[in-house]
Structure 1
Amino acid sequence: MEAWKIELGKKALEAGIMKDPQWLDRLDEPMPLWVLLELAFMLIEKLDPPTISYD
């Protein structure tokens, strides 16, 4: 496996995007759609967090 893929996987582990270190050995495998959707919602929540009224 290419070194850049391994480094990307390590960064994902450190950031909490990937939770299982065994995925580092399977970075070339297809990703299920539910994983992509979970990542998309995590990104949306970080970029546009729910607002709370202070009134």
Structure 2
Amino acid sequence: METWKQNIGNLALQKGILNDPQWLERLDDSMPVWAVLELLLKLSDKLEPETNSYD
């Protein structure tokens, strides 16, 4: 496996995105669309909170 993929996996493990080191051996596995969408929705919630008013 390429070093850049291993670096991404290690960073995800350090940040708690991955919670099992065994995932580092499966970084080339496919990911279902629903899982990708769930991650994007969670990221969107963090970047764009529902309330933006400061008044």
Is TM (by shorter chain) over 0.5? yes
Which residue type is aligned with residue 32 of structure 2?
Answer: P
Q: Report matched runs for 1:6-45 at 5 Å.
A: 6-45=6-45
* TM-score normalized with structure 1 length: 0.75
Q: State which drifts further: 43-52 or 3-12.
A: 43-52
**Post-superposition shift, 1:37?**
1.3
Task: Return 5+ residue gaps in structure 1 as ranges.
Answer: none
Write out per-residue CA displacement over residues 3-49 of structure 1, whole angstroms, 9 at most, x where no aligned residue: 11111001112222222221100101111122201210111011102
Cα RMSD, aligned residues only: 2.1
Q: Could you list the runs of 4 or more consecutive aligned residues of structure 1 that deviate by over 4 angstroms after TM superposition?
A: 52-55
Counterpart-to-counterpart distance in 1, 2:53 and 2:2: 48
- Distance of aligned partners of 1:7 and 1:41 in 2 relative to their CA distance in 1, 3 Å threshold: same
Task: Return 5+ residue gaps in structure 2 as ranges.
Answer: none
**Post-superposition shift, 1:52?**
7.9
Counterpart-to-counterpart distance in 2, 1:21 and 1:11: 11
